[in-house]
Amino acid sequence: MLTYLSEIDINLLRLIHHHRVLELDQFMIFISLSTTYVSIGLILTILFVSIIKRSAALRVVFYKMLAVLIIAATISLTMKTIVQRERPFKTYPDIEKLSKGGSPSFPSGHTMEAFAIAIAFSILIPKRKYFIPLIAWAFVVGYSRMALGVHYPFDVAVGMIIGAMTGWLIPSVMNRIPALKANKDP
């Protein structure tokens, strides 16, 4: 059964990687590398706005977003260390490495981070004008990791699921801490 699932994983990766639009490679590299910059930039923007507006509620959102980022990164690194799955470009010579990717493959840390940040932000600042671009960005990050040959589809799918769960769960848990309950602002 595991061999069968592994075959589906590599065949789907080959389909995505070998049939990508080559003219979009540089854009995919940019999107892939944007993950941490977007995440940190978004969190620092929330902090900056909370200082300017003197908003305690936005400051709480900042702490929750920071916790989501740190916890998603910790989960990703822990899982990579435990699972130790080799990157597809190391195992399959027909998969070309087009972006950074050196640590173990499973799960996709970029995808996990993007989904955790997108979901948490969408929950904490529930405005559709932010939700659609953030979710679209997260999906493109996940796709880019496969198109660039650095992750298997299963790595990305698990990154999406755990990232979304982290982005939803951490703010929910933190809402139970009286000092971190949101007042009103966002």
- pLDDT > 70? residue 181: no
Per-residue pLDDT tens over the stretch 12-23: 999 999 999 999
Tell me which residue has tokens 């990703």: 76
Contacts for 157-162: CB closer than 8 Å, 24+ residues apart: 158/106, 158/107, 158/108, 159/76, 159/107, 159/108, 159/109, 159/110, 159/111, 159/112, 159/115, 160/111, 160/112, 160/115, 162/72, 162/75, 162/76, 162/79, 162/107, 162/112
pLDDT, the chain, mean: 91
What is the model's pLDDT at position 103? Answer: 84
Mean pLDDT of 61-66: 95
Chain centroid, CA 54 distance in Å: 30
Q: What is the value of pTM for the model shown?
A: 0.91
What is the reported pLDDT for 83? 94
Residue 183 clears pLDDT 60, i.e. is over it: no
pLDDT at 185: 53
pLDDT of residue 95: 92
Name the token pair of 88: 């597809």
The Cα angle at residue 145 between residues 143 and 147, in degrees rounded to 5:
65
pLDDT at 153: 96
Burial class (CB in 10 A: 0-12, 13-18, 19+), 133: exposed
Tens digit of pLDDT for each residue in 23-57?
Answer: 999 999 999 999 999 999 999 999 999 999 999 88
Residue 81 has pLDDT above 80, yes or no: yes
Tell me which amino acid residue 148 is.
L
Is residue 63 exposed (0-12), middle (13-18) or buried (19+ Cβ within 10 Å)?
middle
Per the rule left: phi > 0, alpha: psi between -120 and 50, beta: everything else, 54 is left
pLDDT, tens digit (0-9, with 9 covering 90-100), for 91-148: 899 999 988 777 898 999 999 999 999 999 999 998 888 899 999 999 999 999 999 9
Distance in angstroms (rounded) separating the CA atoms of residues 82 and 45: 34
